[in-house]
Amino acid sequence: MRALYFAIFTVFFAYFSAVAPVFAQNKSDLPEIPSALQMLSDRGAQMRYLGREHGMDGWIAIYQGQENYYYVTPDGSAFLMGIMFDKDGEMITMKQVADLQKQGGDVLDFLAADQKPKDLTATMKETNEAFVYKTPAERMFAEVENSNWVSFGDESAPVIYSFMDPQCPHCHSFMKDMKEDYLKGGLIQVRMIPVGFRDETLAQASFLLASPDAEERWYKHLDGDATALPAKQDVNTQGIQMNLALMQAWDFDVTPLTVYRDKAGKVKIVRGRASNLANILADLPSK
């Protein structure tokens, strides 16, 4: 999930988070997302069309609660990121967002939040670098690292990756096993790779991926809060579809499915709910 890089315009971010929390559009009325911005949508960003000004189509992308604004060049092959001003210094983007807000709707009510921008420069660099791997296991692990994931626990703790479906009872049990002693105790960081095998869970997983408070929502979901992960059918599911494609490419057919690198650098796979978390912890590199 964090393999995608969004440069942040911090001055305008807080302002627009305050004035434009609601975005909704009828997909049948939208132009097709241009190829220059398709990578954002593919990673799970929620895209909304702002309209055309001065020959350029404007788009807003929301990812993990962060809003960014893009203007696509007339030939569709490149884009600019930031705020558009007119010749008098007025912010055209502000008017476009206000017009979009008037359309109403509830899909992104939860997603546009005033979050502290994250510096994803290092992650982007890792994602874009080309590596040559000697084994299929190494190629698989690289794809898992660059999948769309949500982090739980201490970011400095040893990492495990785990594919999970929001309605998978074994996934629920696995996370409950780890929550108090391992996650809250700072012993393990779980990078959950959300997937969805039914329309409902596909939408829930997509909502989780885009949410600025994913960890909190997931725990509320585990506690039975039916509103924590709404199954909104007009949420962009492409980020989750990519995670599902990754599972299929490597013949992964169960959830949870956990992947990690041990102390010796060897890639390990645990299918299903781990029977002994202590053994996994002992097998991980130390902080």
pLDDT score of 244 more than 70: yes
Report, as an integer, the average pLDDT of 25-40.
Answer: 70
Tell me how far CA of residue 252 lies from CA of 171, 197, 256, 268, 272, in angstroms. Answer: 15, 13, 10, 13, 11
Do residues 148 and 240 touch, judged by C-beta distance below 8 A?
A: yes
pLDDT score of 122 more than 80: no
CA distance 165 to 9: 34
Q: Where are the domains of the chain?
A: 10-101, 130-283
> Is 0.75 topped by the overall pTM?
no
Tell me the two tokens of residue 213.
């408070």
Whether the domain at 10-101 and the domain at 130-283 fall into the same CATH topology: no
pLDDT score of 5 more than 60: no
Architecture of domain 130-283: 3-Layer(aba) Sandwich (3.40)
Do residues 214 and 118 touch, judged by C-beta distance below 8 A?
A: no
The CATH number for 10-101, chosen from 3.30.70.260, 3.40.630.10, 3.10.450.70, 3.40.50.300, is: 3.10.450.70
pLDDT at 45: 81
Q: Using 50, 70 and 90 to split pLDDT, how confident is the model at 26?
A: low
User: How many beta carbons lie within 10 A of that of residue 264, not counting itself?
Assistant: 8
87-102: pLDDT as tens digits: 877 888 888 888 877 7
pLDDT score of 10 more than 70: no
Give me the residues paired with residue 67 across strands. 62
CA distance 243 to 111: 21
pLDDT score of 109 more than 70: no
Report, as an integer, the average pLDDT of 207-214.
Answer: 92
pLDDT at 30: 67
